[in-house]
Amino acid sequence: MSQECIDKLDIFFADDLFKYESVCIAAMEHLKSKATAPIQNGPLPA
């Protein structure tokens, strides 16, 4: 693999990881806000 190709992959993965992390943070915030309310339907399936 050429260095240029590796650089592009690095950028791609970093961007993907950033998006994934943002989704995780949003999910955690959502769970935190739900945790203060009584659980109605039991634990969410994984």
Alpha-carbon distance of 31 to 26, in angstroms, equals 9
Write the pLDDT tens digit of every residue in 1-46. 688 877 887 877 778 878 888 888 888 888 888 766 555 666 666 5
pLDDT at 17: 78
Task: Write down the pTM of the prediction.
Answer: 0.41
pLDDT at 32: 84
Alpha-carbon distance of 10 to 21, in angstroms, equals 16
* Domain map (residue ranges) of the chain: 1-35
How far, CA to CA in Å, does 39 sit from each of 22, 24, 33, 34? Answer: 25, 21, 11, 8
pLDDT at 39: 57
Alpha-carbon distance of 38 to 8, in angstroms, equals 46
Dump strand ranges (E) for 1-46: none
pLDDT at 15: 81
